[in-house]
């Protein structure tokens, strides 16, 4: 019986500690930084925690002191008033001003480190990121400055060097945040802002929209892959090369030209298959490399065999409110054909 009580006590005492420790690791943890900006933010986080713990403890101590404090009958009301004023000025004005200024001085270099300032050694790699409800568009500028590689929900970047992310939004305000590399920065429609981040070493990092942007805000995950410079260049070159004409899937491509090209693009898709009267009002993700993405719907469904067809059939249940209309008018065999064809898209 006593042993059981001890077990429960350990569980009750240990559970919060386990919960706290569980938040210290993982691909979305700011407490596991993997780049210079994130390391700065890591120390700002600890400094803020330290200051707030000290201030909280001081407040609790003062509060407890009020219970033990005895009345001082010899003090005149004027003296009492002067003491109260001193507390208001000290605790209500001086303490917050000193704490905030100290934190500002400590945090200012962190913000400066994420500015796209000129570099001694050439230019930083530039990648454009556009926020949409509720997915990410990633654009890689070519030699003339225009993006010549476009992908979605998967950001590939070089490791070991600074990268300037030029941010904007196509609809509402989103925020770009890769917790282990740094951030976050608002993405405002009609405006462009740039944040400089760097990954120390190659790896995979999680990212998430950090500004509430509508019903599916939480289903707006971004998969970030930092590659060695050579691997990054090879990936870009592969994406820039004209796509090989694929054999088979004639019916799927026919159906794609009929139902999907109003919103989606696939590099090298034959013009003659595009139905003329489609309207291009709604913009959906570029699907040229969809087969190589780790998930569908910006993190909603893992990419595996049959996943695209399943997504096409059930996307409004899996991610209610997303901009793609339901496909009730298309038969399941056609959706499966389109899905099987798109799964082969791995340039
Ligand atoms: Cu959001």
Q: Is the pLDDT of residue 18 over 80?
A: no
* Average pLDDT of the segment spanning 256-278: 78
Domain boundaries, the chain: 24-241, 250-343
Considering only residues 244 and 294, tell me which one the structure prediction assigns the higher pLDDT.
294
Q: What separation in Å is there between the alpha carbon of 132 and the centre of ligand 1?
A: 9
Most confident of 161-165, 239-243, 268-272: 161-165
Distances (CA, A) of 109 to 37, 41, 96, 311: 10, 10, 21, 45
Q: What separation in Å is there between the alpha carbon of 193 and the centre of ligand 1?
A: 17
Q: Residues with beta carbon < 5 A to ion ligand 1?
A: 174, 209, 213, 217
Q: What separation in Å is there between the alpha carbon of 174 and the centre of ligand 1?
A: 5
**Structure tokens of 99?**
């704490």
Q: Is the pLDDT of residue 5 over 70?
A: no
Q: Give the pLDDT score at 189.
A: 95
Q: What separation in Å is there between the alpha carbon of 3 and the centre of ligand 1?
A: 48
* Average pLDDT of the segment spanning 294-305: 92
Q: Give the pLDDT score at 12.
A: 57
Q: What separation in Å is there between the alpha carbon of 45 and the centre of ligand 1?
A: 23
Q: Is the pLDDT of residue 223 over 90?
A: yes
Q: What separation in Å is there between the alpha carbon of 55 and the centre of ligand 1?
A: 33
Q: What separation in Å is there between the alpha carbon of 134 and the centre of ligand 1?
A: 7
Q: What is the tens place of the pLDDT at every residue in 149-195? A: 999 999 999 999 999 999 999 999 999 999 999 988 999 999 999 99
CA atoms of 303 and 295, how far apart (whole Å): 5
Q: What separation in Å is there between the alpha carbon of 288 and the centre of ligand 1?
A: 25
Provide CATH code, domain 24-241: 2.60.40.420
| CATH superfamily of the 250-343 domain | Cupredoxins -  blue copper proteins (2.60.40.420)
Give the percent of the chain with pLDDT over 70.
Answer: 89
Considering only residues 123 and 7, tell me which one the structure prediction assigns the higher pLDDT.
123
Beta strand 193-197 with 163-169 is antiparallel
Q: Give the pLDDT score at 80.
A: 81
* Average pLDDT of the segment spanning 213-242: 93
CA atoms of 304 and 56, how far apart (whole Å): 50
Per-residue three-class SS string for the chain: CHHHHHHHHHHHHHHHHHHHHHCCCCCCCCCCCCCHHHHHHHHHHHHHHHHHHHHHHHHHHHHHHHHHCCCCCCCCHHHHHHHHHHHHHHHHHHHHHHHHHHHHHHHHHHHHHCCCCCCCCCCCEEEEEEEECCEEEEEEECCCCCEEEEEECEEEEECCCCEEEEEEECCCCEEEEECCCEEEEEECECCCEEEEECCCCCEEEEEECCCCCCCCHHHCEEEEEEECHHHHHHHHHHHHCCCCCCCCCHHHHHHHHHHCCCCCCCCCCCHHHCCCCCCCCCCCCCCCCHHHCCEECCCCEECCCCHHHHHHHHHHHHCCCCCCCCCCCCCHHHHHHHHHHHHCCCC
Determine contact, residues 216/299, Cβ cutoff 8 Å.
no
Determine contact, residues 111/37, Cβ cutoff 8 Å.
no
Domains 24-241 and 250-343 share a fold: yes
What is the residue-averaged pLDDT of the chain? 86
Q: What separation in Å is there between the alpha carbon of 284 and the centre of ligand 1?
A: 17
- Give the model's confidence band at 268: pLDDT under 50 very low, under 70 low, under 90 confident, else very high: confident
Q: What separation in Å is there between the alpha carbon of 176 and the centre of ligand 1?
A: 9
Q: Is the pLDDT of residue 276 over 90?
A: no
**Beta-carbon contacts of residue 76 (< 8 Å; ≥ 6 apart):** none
Considering only residues 87 and 244, tell me which one the structure prediction assigns the higher pLDDT.
87
Q: What is the tens place of the pLDDT at every residue in 69-98? A: 776 677 788 888 888 888 888 888 898 898
* HSE-CB of 150 using CA atoms within 13 angstroms: 15
Q: What separation in Å is there between the alpha carbon of 217 and the centre of ligand 1?
A: 4
Q: What separation in Å is there between the alpha carbon of 168 and the centre of ligand 1?
A: 13
- Give the model's confidence band at 67: pLDDT under 50 very low, under 70 low, under 90 confident, else very high: confident
Rg (CA), the chain: 27
Beta strand 135-141 with 147-152 is antiparallel
CA atoms of 189 and 174, how far apart (whole Å): 9
């Amino acid at each position: 019986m006593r042993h059981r009580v001890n077990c429960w006590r350990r569980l009750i005492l240990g559970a919060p500690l386990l919960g706290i420790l569980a938040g210290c690791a993982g691909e979305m943890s700011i407490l596991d930084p993997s780049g210079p900006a994130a390391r700065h933010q890591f120390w700002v986080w600890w400094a803020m925690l330290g200051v707030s713990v000290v201030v909280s403890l001081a407040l609790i101590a003062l509060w407890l002191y009020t219970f033990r404090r005895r009345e001082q009958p010899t003090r005149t009301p004027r003296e009492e008033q002067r003491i109260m004023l001193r507390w208001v000025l000290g605790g209500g004005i001086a303490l917050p001003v000193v704490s905030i200024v100290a934190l500002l001085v400590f945090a200012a270099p962190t913000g400066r480190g994420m500015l796209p300032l000129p570099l001694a050694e050439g230019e930083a790699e530039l990648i454009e990121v556009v926020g949409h409800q509720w997915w990410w568009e990633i654009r890689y500028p070519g030699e003339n400055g225009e993006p010549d590689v476009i992908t979605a929900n998967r950001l590939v970047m070089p490791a070991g060097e600074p990268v300037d992310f030029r941010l904007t939004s196509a609809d509402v305000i989103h925020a770009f945040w890769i917790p282990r590399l740094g951030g976050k920065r608002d993405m405002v429609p009609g405006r462009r802002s740039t944040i400089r981040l760097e990954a120390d070493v190659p790896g995979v990092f999680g990212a998430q929209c950090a500004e509430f942007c509508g019903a599916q805000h939480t289903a707006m995950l971004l998969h970030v892959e930092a590659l060695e410079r050579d691997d990054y260049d090879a990936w870009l070159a592969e994406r820039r090369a004209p796509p090989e004409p694929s054999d088979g899937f004639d019916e799927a491509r026919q159906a794609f030209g009929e139902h999907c090209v109003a919103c989606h693009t696939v590099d090298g898709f034959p013009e003659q298959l595009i139905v003329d009267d489609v309207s291009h009002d709604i913009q959906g993700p570029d699907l040229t490399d969809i087969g190589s993405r780790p998930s569908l719907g910006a993190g909603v469904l893992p990419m595996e065999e049959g996943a695209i067809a399943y997504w096409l059939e059930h996307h409004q249940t899996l991610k209610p409110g997303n901009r793609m209309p339901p496909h009730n008018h298309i038969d399941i065999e056609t959706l499966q054909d389109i899905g099987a064809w798109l799964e082969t898209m791995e340039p």
